[in-house]
Chain A
């Protein structure tokens, strides 16, 4: 479905107001990956890592500086309009609905922009209305919708023309827990029942954990991980954190088999491997404990540890 080979994007940015200085930024550096039809794939990375730039090249918005892309058999930069008919895109912080019009009018207009057959439009709309519960606000102008309602509207807008491939940039940003869950369920259904390929960029690790089997991680423009989430967790996720509350603030504890990661007043974070019971006993022997808890590693932490271990040769962590 997607083939990316040695893709690079370089921007020339001019900085400063009066004395303009040319700065070359390599937003994406020599990345390669493939996505099969029907995959639901997470694309993760810190701000400015190159996620959006990659998505923009895959959707044909940006022209690559070097490398080769094929999406659904097309070259995005040269066949933008052809490609647009077959993909859906939703950018969490952009608005594609018509601000002053009722939601249903936006759908109606998109139907004509995409030349969707009347029959298919009716079926799709009926379905999304049910699944995303759009009924109560279909006639409401978009500017009056809550964020959660608007995102549901945006998702529908991206899917009305039955695309085979869906690009989602931060689809759950700013949503509350219930709304997030609804969006995630919708994506899972879409992927499982319709075989829609989904590429998702997000900051929200909950999205990734619940939705994706495979994860791409990008940092400083280079791909530092491409593989199953389970494997990632196995490889980098064996360190846990013991969070202890002491009676009073103290300097970082010196305990064998653990290192203090953070101190905040009487609370300290200790990273360790192996048995929590032994460590707890050692801590209790050297300081007066009030409370403690153990945090399992989450993806964010795992990602951080890939970052720190991949500061050497870029892409070395790729399996």
Chain B
């Protein structure tokens, strides 16, 4: 495990060094990412300009959701966003190269890239988080701090699991990955808003099937001490880390199945 981390750092370090060769374009894309992501936030501000509350949620609370979603999704994108390239890898046969190396395929893909410019989104999320926390007057308890601190790594793992799991589908469809994007980028968009504004079937889908509600919604309810407008069981508010680990286990199994399929069907 430790050796794998060292190797990951080496592989990713080499990528970062090569990205720095084009400093100007690198800087430009970071700024662009930051700005584009800021437009998303602007949408929220515009909505609250017209309505004082969205369901039971104030602008500060939604800002908090938005920020948490941005940070976790931004970091996930940074770590494994290049999973979007898996369809290409499967179609042009370069996935074979990974299979003749003495390392796991999932590891090799994760370590194959690291787009530092994607930091723009996470950075913007961090700024909004500071604003939201400063204006929210949360009554902090030790448990609330723990839930907030745990929500970020849990959120990253949940997003990663969704990303990997839906990425597995291309091994069967050899599609371009549009379907996966609907769940990854689309999922990111949904987590920016409180799920109780969504229709019931979509809420259940997010809470139980694709567990994106555990990225922001449940931790936020606990931190604000807000009664769940949906009346879902309270213990769910603590379940993000458990859900994260379970989601990763499912994703790992899904990946194994996908690779097994590739090795018997030849991609």
Residues of A within 8 A of B (CB): 11-12, 53, 56, 59-63, 77, 80-82, 84-85, 87, 89, 91, 94-96, 98, 100-101, 105, 108-109, 112-115, 141
Contact = CB atoms under 8 A, between A and B. Distances in A.
Contacts of B196: none
Given A94-B94, A95-B94, A98-B14, A63 B100 contact: no
Interface stretch (B42-50, B59-67, B259-267): B259-267
Contacts of A141: 18
A10 B125 CA distance: 51
B263 A101 contact: no
B14 A101 contact: yes
Interface of B: 7, 10-11, 14-15, 18, 92-94, 96-97, 99-104, 108, 260, 263-266
Contact of B100 (A53, A59, A100, A108): A59
A91 B99 CA distance: 13
A287 B264 CA distance: 59
Contacts of A113: 7, 101-103, 108
Contacts of B101: 84, 113-114
A81 B105 CA distance: 10
A101 B20 CA distance: 12
Contacts of A114: 101-102
Contact of A94 (B11, B97, B108, B266): B97
A94 B102 contact: no
Contacts of A77: 263
Contacts of B266: 11, 53, 56, 62
A96 B99 CA distance: 11
13 contacts: A59-B100, A61-B263, A62-B263, A62-B264, A63-B260, A81-B103, A84-B101, A89-B100, A94-B94, A101-B18, A113-B7, A114-B102, A141-B18
A277 B15 CA distance: 67
Nearest to B107: A113
B14 A96 contact: no
A113 B103 CA distance: 7
Nearest to A9: B266
A87 B265 CA distance: 23
A188 B104 CA distance: 33
A109 B96 contact: no
A87 B92 CA distance: 23
Nearest to B6: A112
Given A61-B263, A91-B96, 17 more contacts: A12-B265, A53-B266, A61-B100, A63-B263, A77-B263, A80-B99, A85-B102, A94-B96, A95-B97, A100-B15, A101-B18, A109-B14, A112-B7, A113-B7, A114-B101, A115-B102, A141-B18
B94 A100 contact: no
Contacts of B265: 11-12
B93 A63 contact: no
**Interface core residue of A63, A84, A101, A113 (most chain B CB under 10 Å):** A113
B264 A109 contact: no
A87 B10 CA distance: 23
A63 B11 CA distance: 29
Contact of A84 (B11, B93, B102, B263): B102
A188 B97 CA distance: 24
A203 B180 CA distance: 39
**Interface core residue of B11, B92, B97, B102 (most chain A CB under 10 Å):** B102
Nearest to A110: B101
Contacts of B264: 62-63
Nearest to A98: B14
Contact of B97 (A80, A91, A105): A91
A101 B113 CA distance: 12
B105 to A, nearest CB: 10
B96 A112 contact: no
Contact of A61 (B15, B96, B103): B96
Nearest to A59: B100
Nearest to B11: A109
B100 A60 contact: yes
A109 B10 contact: yes
Contacts of B102: 81-82, 84-85, 113-115
A94 B260 CA distance: 21
Contact of B96 (A12, A56, A115): A56
A133 B99 CA distance: 29
Contacts of B260: 63
B107 to A, nearest CB: 10
A69 to B, nearest CB: 13
Contacts of B263: 61-63, 77
A60 B94 contact: no
Contacts of A115: 102
Nearest to A99: B18
- Considering the complex of A and B, which 7 residue pairs feature the smallest CB-CB distances, nearest first? A84-B102, A89-B100, A61-B99, A100-B18, A85-B102, A96-B97, A81-B102
Nearest to A105: B14
A101 B7 CA distance: 16
Contacts of A82: 102
A63 B104 CA distance: 17
**Interface core residue of A85, A87, A100 (most chain B CB under 10 Å):** A100
